[in-house]
Amino acid sequence: MKQLLILPGILFLLAQGTGTARKEPSIEKRPKNIILMVGDGMGLTQITAGLYSNNNTLFLEQFPVTGLIKTHSSRHIVTDSGAGATAFSCGCKTYNGAIGVCKDKKPCPTILEQAEEQGFATGLVSTSSITHATPASFIAHVPDRADMETIATYFLKTDIDLFIGGGMKYFNRRTADQRNLVGELQEKGYVVNDYSEQKLSDLKPSPDKPFAWFSAAEEPEGVNKGRDYLPVAARMAPEFLKKRSEKGFFLMIEGSQIDWASHANNAPNTVREMLDFNAAIGAALQFAEADGETLIVITADHETGGMALEQSRSPDTLDMTFTTKVHTASMVPVFAYGPGAEQFNGVYDNTAIYDKMIALWEFQPKVEKR
Ligand code: MG
Ligand code: ZN
């Protein structure tokens, strides 16, 4: 394997951000609602593989603005999902494994918490456990992503209006203490439902009460095993949150398992997960088109697998290969639609996703910059 020549101190420079400051376009119209969609591990090649496996079309083509983000974390050129999501949620470069804490390990107020403070409705949807690094980084503050039971307690510390994902055992079969967080959520007024009782598609949650649906006791299955709730959730959540606050809402939707399929170097499953995420994008887009006040930002925390598309023997088929089992440092794309979308054009750090979202909402930045 060839080694990239890395100049001394480049990691320090990376963390500081050496890019020339760019002037943001003036804001024409501010969004009332923001839907941030994260395809975990969704690099350009995963997107392309999905595209050509789907009759050469994806909903992403309907997004008028595209950008690229630099995904490195504070100490490594290759990020993990904790540092990657904390860049989006808090706007700081942090170390790999961090959840809602900057590199000094101090909790950083997240955009979800800031939105709640301002009276917005908030939601998290994921196809991993809801305590997994990506969703956790928007609601919890722990130095180590493996601490799932502590992460679960943060769902009681905020007033999140809706969450959908797996990992129910971290709430109701805890090893660190005897708390039953499902019961505590219900006492707090939540309607809590789960995979063992009803499918998400059979539920019509009333916006009078906050809502949680657990998709699995542990990690949800892959699309290849029949998991189908992500597009359902992407349709349900914006409609639900819209009715929960006059001010607007913040919703993060994650397609978690693009990453896992690419870690496994499983090309067919990578495509399945990509197209499941595409269906969720279609549902969110349909809401935003009708609503007219919703910004959708779609990006990834990093690429996974060093995926490549090669010509196969037959001229019109693709050979999908991988160069690694782990994450890579490639920049990943950003797609934006709706009021404020123009802000997301260009090449910038992953932390700027947070900066741009809070600038559009006129929230004050809460953490010292890098
Ligand atoms: Mg994730
Ligand atoms: Zn990963």
| 96-126 confidence digits (pLDDT tens) | 999 999 999 999 999 999 999 999 999 999 9
State the average pLDDT over residues 189-198.
96
Determine which of 44-48, 87-91, 93-97, 310-314 has the lowest per-residue pLDDT on average. Answer: 310-314
Report how far ligand 1's centroid is from the alpha carbon of 128 (Å): 7
pLDDT for position 367: 76
State the pLDDT confidence band at 25, using cuts at 50, 70 and 90. Answer: confident
Task: Please name the residue ranges forming H helices in the chain.
Answer: 10-16, 44-52, 81-90, 111-117, 133-136, 148-157, 169-172, 181-187, 229-242, 257-263, 267-291, 351-361
Query: 99 CA to middle of ligand 1, Å?
Result: 12
pLDDT in the model for residue 368? 67
- Residues of the chain above pLDDT 90, percent: 88
Residue 217 lies in a domain: yes
CA of 262 from ligand 1 middle (Å) equals: 12
The ligand placed nearest to the CA atom of residue 43 is 2
Does 27 reside within a domain?
A: no
Q: Do residues 166 and 219 lie in contact, with contact meaning Cβ atoms separated by under 8 Å?
A: yes
> Residue 14 — pLDDT band, cuts 50, 70, 90?
low
Q: Are 145 and 82 in contact (CB under 8 A)?
A: yes
**How high is the pLDDT of residue 23?**
77
* Distance from residue 301's CA to the centre of ligand 2 (Å): 9
- Asked if residue 77 is part of any domain, the answer here is yes
For residue 268, CA distances in Å to 49, 99, 224 come to 9, 31, 9
Closest CA to 354 of 127, 128, 38, 85: 85
Q: Which of 53, 73, 81, 129 is catalytic?
A: 81
Is it the case that residue 3 has pLDDT exceeding 80?
Answer: no
Ligand nearest to the CA of 124: 1
Residue 26 has pLDDT above 60, yes or no: yes
Question: Span 313-320, mean pLDDT?
Answer: 84
pLDDT bin (cut points 50, 70, 90) of residue 51 is very high
Task: With respect to residue 370, please indicate whether it lies within any of the assigned structural domains.
Answer: no
Q: Is residue 12 part of a domain?
A: no
Ligand 1 mean position, distance from CA 313 (Å): 35
pLDDT at 12: 55
For the cut 90, the answer to whether the pLDDT of residue 312 exceeds it is: no
Residue with structure tokens 């904390």?
86
Residues 211/161, Cβ–Cβ less than 8 Å: yes
Q: Of 1-5, 47-51, 274-278, where does mean pLDDT reach its minimum?
A: 1-5
Using the predicted structure, report yes or no on whether residue 5 has a pLDDT greater than 70: no
Indicate whether 290 belongs to any domain: yes
In this prediction, residues 229-246 reach a mean pLDDT of: 98
Question: Quick one: which ligand is closest to 125's CA?
Answer: 1
Ligand positioned closest to the Cα atom of 257: 1
The tokens of 224 are what? 């290849």
Q: Is the per-residue pLDDT at 346 higher than 90? A: yes
What is the Å distance from ligand 1's center to 28 Cα?
32
Classify residue 338 as left (phi > 0), alpha (psi -120 to 50) or beta: left
For position 94, which CATH number holds? 3.40.720.10
* Band (359; pLDDT cuts 50, 70, 90): very high
* Ligand having the closest approach to the CA of 40: 1
Distance 133 CA to ligand 1 centre (A): 6
Tell me phi and psi for residue 57, to 5 degrees. Answer: -150, 140
Residue 26 resides in a domain:
no
What's the CA-to-centroid distance between 99 and ligand 2, angstroms?
15
The answer to whether residues 255 and 132 touch, using CB atoms and an 8 Å cutoff, is no
* Structure confidence at residue 13 (pLDDT): 55
Distance CA 323, CA 339 (A): 38
Q: Report the pLDDT averaged over residues 64-83.
A: 97
Query: What's the whole-number mean pLDDT along residues 272-288?
Result: 98
> % helix / strand / coil in the chain, to the nearest 5?
35, 20, 45
Q: Is 137 a catalytic residue?
A: no
- The predicted structure's pLDDT at residue 313: 80
Asked, for residue 14, whether it belongs to a domain, the answer is no
Tell me how far the alpha carbon of residue 119 lies from the centroid of ligand 1, in angstroms. 27
Mean pLDDT computed over every residue of the chain:
94
Residue the block writes with tokens 């006791």: 217
Q: How far does the centroid of ligand 1 lie from the alpha carbon of residue 144, in Å?
A: 14
Q: Write down the pLDDT at residue 317.
A: 83
Reference 142, options 106, 89, 178, 90; nearest CA is 106
pLDDT attached to residue 70 = 98
- Sign, Cα dihedral of 93, 98, 104, 105: positive
Domain that holds residue 236: 37-361
Ligand closest to 134 (CA) is: 1
Asked whether the predicted pLDDT for residue 206 surpasses 60, the reply is yes
Give the total number of structural domains in the chain.
1
Give the range among 20-24, 69-73, 201-205, 354-358 with minimum mean pLDDT. 20-24
